[in-house]
A and B are shown apart, each in its own frame.
Chain A
């Protein structure tokens, strides 16, 4: 177990900067998830930590040891690859044992560790099989086992579940989480899947174009996105965004767009003070658009008239696609709420959960700690 520290890490490939001035400290035993769209530099960062790529500048410490010029095998890290990268010509036992043999671990110790890992991962009956004779999920487990037997300081996982089918992916997600609870090894996990990131990470790093967008716990990321990118990337269906302007009216600031007029709630008053006349982007998550008439009635300053265009029932929930003025909004309502296409509804964004973003900087306007 170990801590990992990255100080101003930059990685360039020719003229392309894959990772830009990345600084982060990863705690001992933490499950850190790097998430972002493809090409955002998250895999490159993982390979830099593994030692498969050299940094262009910056420093990497594993357990307070500078490892910039340490060979991959001496960094005491284990990596799980997206396509598993098993040794095709070796059976499961040899795949698991290879790393230990290379490190000249005693034979009975190898046997003990391989059998223990096989037990944990449910591979005990498959030890004599070759990778080609295994299913995708089994291969994935062998790849994990290969990392586990080494008992490394850090696990590096590069989209380990993306080659599995949807059902298996959910199962393996749970299994990975359980494994981490049991072994408590510092883990850096790369994914482009926000669901994986949200469900597995104790902390999440959202990346875009090689830069950190936000580092936060899953809930914080969801409830207080730092900028437009994070707000749109985390959450499914994504947050509704409406472009408009801030208009002073009766001593308050109002958000105004075609067909929508909403009073800026008190919690955001501080951040918006003096921004009258400025363009602004309003963000509201689908579940924060209130449809229940009882709740809408008490929010006279936030009502929006909308036409129901499409209803997507999912069982527990339904997604209701609305047209408000010129705006398309998606609301998430309880599955039993009766809404039909063509209905005219009065809805209201929950004022406690409205986000405002500066369209120029794309940064969120911060919300006061307590809401009146």
Chain B
């Protein structure tokens, strides 16, 4: 009797209770001498570099060099005439830089790369736009639908991600042949689109899920229908996510060799990646023309990467990690 003076739950919070969440959120002290050096741990002027740091940097440089050397070789071979390459591209006795190999590859009599790159673009651009359109609509549906089939259907789509390309090659060829889609870009575009849909739906659904729900609800009360919300709110807010998906899909479709090999064999219709092996002569290997064709082919993904680097990397590591 005679204990209560103030209603505890709704009055001022007890100091003990307030302290708990803070204790939980404090970051643990960094382990001394381990892990990447934080800005605070960076050596001050005059302080000596520790051997571990030097070792780490040396290793990183070595690995980096190992990665860049083959590419350097390709670039050197592409830029120098055949005569200089007989004893290896690393011989730097005489270095002549010329675009000759590129011109020869571009206008090659049997497999001109110029035509190949044009064909690749004809395939890749719709193969990126089409799945983006379909997948973004599907992803929004998966996020907001209240239908019972939503979860099993989504599980099925995740499952499709695990199907290896080689497994579907023969049935795919038969279906497209029966549909008259062999040797047509439409056939390859449909294939790329279908192949991209599962990951893109999952990717975009997860991206849309990061958008604030209230903005959609505000639009709902403002009188917008679901499609209008999708078009006026979701898509504009998702431009970074869409750019990520586009960059990844564009690179993937451009680099594809396997699907094109199955579906296109008319010589004038071959895409860029299909033409590189054809540039190898029957009796001697013309490294200059081969490497020039390779450089021409990888130029497009590199350009995409350079332009959309931020979105590309974000797409790979996931947008939800912030």
Contacts and interface: CB of A to CB of B under 8 A. Distances in A.
A241 B4 contact: yes
Nearest to A156: B221
Contacts of A79: 217-218, 221
Question: What 8 A-B pairs come out closest when comparing CB atoms?
Answer: A232-B7, A99-B222, A85-B214, A257-B2, A102-B223, A73-B223, A85-B218, A328-B5
Interface in A29-82: 37, 50-52, 72-73, 77-79, 81-82
Interface of A: 37, 50-52, 72-73, 77-79, 81-83, 85-89, 98-99, 102-103, 146, 150, 228-229, 232-233, 237-238, 240-245, 257-260, 279, 281, 325-330
29 contacts: A37-B9, A50-B221, A52-B220, A73-B220, A73-B223, A78-B221, A79-B218, A79-B221, A81-B214, A81-B217, A83-B212, A85-B214, A86-B215, A88-B237, A102-B224, A102-B228, A238-B10, A238-B11, A241-B4, A243-B1, A244-B2, A245-B1, A257-B1, A258-B1, A281-B4, A327-B2, A327-B5, A328-B5, A330-B6
Contact of B220 (A72, A240, A241): A72
Interface string B212-247: 101101111111110010001100110000000000
Contacts of A88: 215, 237
A32 to B, nearest CB: 19
A329 B5 contact: yes
Nearest to B232: A98
B236 A146 contact: no
A237 B7 CA distance: 11
Nearest to A228: B7
B66 interface: no
A130 to B, nearest CB: 12
B217 A85 contact: yes
B224 A73 contact: yes
Contact of B219 (A98, A243, A328): A98
Given A103-B223, A146-B222, A242 B2 contact: yes
B3 interface: yes
A279 B223 contact: no
Nearest to A259: B2
Given A77-B221, A102-B223, A103-B223, A85 B10 contact: no
B218 A146 contact: yes
A237 B5 CA distance: 12
Contacts of A51: 221
Contacts of A232: 6-7, 10-11
Contacts of A37: 9-10
A227 B217 CA distance: 36
Contacts of B221: 50-52, 72-73, 77-79, 99
Contact of A87 (B4, B11, B219, B223): B219
Nearest to B236: A89
A228 to B, nearest CB: 7
Given A85-B212, A102-B228, A150 B222 contact: yes
Nearest to A73: B223
A201 B63 CA distance: 69
Given A81-B218, A326-B2, 12 more contacts: A37-B10, A52-B220, A52-B221, A73-B225, A85-B214, A88-B215, A98-B232, A240-B6, A242-B4, A257-B2, A259-B2, A260-B2
A243 B3 CA distance: 6
Contacts of A233: 7, 10
A80 B4 CA distance: 39
Contact of A243 (B2, B9, B217, B222): B2
A65 B37 CA distance: 66
B233 A87 contact: yes
B121 to A, nearest CB: 30
A206 B81 CA distance: 87
A150 B10 CA distance: 38
Contacts of B1: 243-245, 257-258, 279
Contacts of A83: 212, 214
Contacts of B236: 89
Q: Which of B2, B224, B236 has the most CB of A within 10 A?
A: B2
A241 B6 contact: yes
Contacts of A146: 218, 222
Nearest to B224: A102
A238 B6 contact: yes
Contacts of B9: 37
A72 B9 CA distance: 36
Contacts of A82: 214
Contacts of A259: 2
A284 B217 CA distance: 44
Q: Which of B215, B221, B232 has the most CB of A within 10 A?
A: B221
Contacts of B218: 79, 81, 85-87, 146
A238 B7 contact: yes
A325 B303 CA distance: 82
Contacts of B214: 81-83, 85
Interface in B1-34: 1-7, 9-11
A148 B222 CA distance: 11
Contacts of B7: 228-229, 232-233, 238, 241
A12 B7 CA distance: 28
Nearest to B7: A232
A99 B228 CA distance: 11
Contact of B222 (A73, A244, A245): A73
B237 A89 contact: yes
Contacts of A242: 2, 4-5
